[in-house]
Every structure is written in C-alpha cells, then in structure tokens.
Amino acid sequence: MGEFDFIICHGVYSWVPDEVQEAILGACGRSLSPTGVAYVGYNTYPGWKSKEIVRDAMLLSVGDSATIRAKVRRARGMVDFLQKVAQPGSVLGQALDDYQQMAAKTGDYYLLHEELELFNAPCYFRDFVARARAHGLDYLSEAQPGTRSRKTMDRRSLVTYSNTRTIRYSSNNTWISSSTDTSARRC
C-alpha cells in the first residue's frame, strides 16, 4: 500500500468493534511515513458518560423498530418524554439540553449515526493513547488546538514536536477532557 503523510479516520473509530479499532491503529502504524500524521476522531470519556444516558434511553425506546423512520420517531419521542420529566439542572436534564442543542443543528443522519448505531464505544484519552502506542504511534495534538480550553481554561496545552511519529505529551490532556466535559476528540 505504501507510506502516507496523512491518514484521516473520522466518524469511524468509536463506531466499530475493538478488533476493527485495533486494525485501524495497526494500519496507521504500518502505513504512515516516518513524519506522517494520522487524524482519528473518536468519542471520549468523561464527556460521553452523560450522553450515554440519553443514548441508552433512545436505544431502549426503538426496540425492534422495522424502519429507520420508526427508529427516529421513537428515539425523538423518548427524548421529548424525558425532557418533560427530567429535573432542571440534573445530569439527565443537562444531557437532554446538550442533545437538543446538537439535534437543532443536525439531521436524522446524526441521530442514526451518533445515537442509534450498534457500536458507539467512547474511551478515555489515556486508553486511546496506550492503544496507539502499541502500534508505534503517539499523540500529537488536537485537530483544533485551543478548542478544549476556551470555555474554562486560561492556558493552552503545549506540544513538543520531534522528527519522528513520537510526540511527547502531558497527562494534563486527560484532565483537560475532564474539566471541559469533552465528549469527542480529534487527534
């Protein structure tokens, strides 16, 4: 297949089983040039913990719906129901508010992909990095540096570059994810 300077894998990693995730990272490790960069977008904890509440409720509500339209209708119906009964300011209430804000900007495709896919396996940042390292890869940077810290942090994390695929990073990234309620990373 050759070597590549860039490999992009967005909207796939969290939505496939473990063995496919390993294959993705393996392909990146084998196929990147010595200074290559792989972009991998995935859902991350802890931000996805509250989102799982809404996702689980939707999945339970769709049951064995025969059509995509029925799944979407039932899932949205569950969110509407929960919105009426959730206590304002509760974890569920906030998760529903967050979902509604995203749903207002997206269509049924997003609900089907993000919420109703068979697989949606968020992971902690540190676990993703450990899996990447097993394939000769390491964390470089967020795809949009600074977006994690704009809301609640004054300083941005620093990244030290080297001339190989190995980039040094601080475990502060795990704490950045926690403090900013990050639910998706694009590394």
**Region 70-86 average pLDDT:** 94
Look at residue 159 in the predicted model and tell me its pLDDT: 32
Q: How far apart are CA 135 and CA 156, in angstroms?
A: 28
Of residues 136 and 164, the one with the higher pLDDT is 136
**What pLDDT sits at residue 183?**
61
What are 123-154's pLDDT values in tens digits? 999 999 999 999 999 888 887 765 544 443 33
CA distance 80 to 70: 15
pLDDT of 86 higher than 90: yes
**Please, what is the average pLDDT of the chain?**
80
Mean pLDDT of 5-21: 93
Contacts of 148 (CB under 8 A, 6+ apart): 142, 157, 176, 177, 180, 182
| Verdict on whether the full-model pTM lies above 0.75 | no
State pLDDT tens for residues 56-73.
Answer: 999 999 988 879 999 999
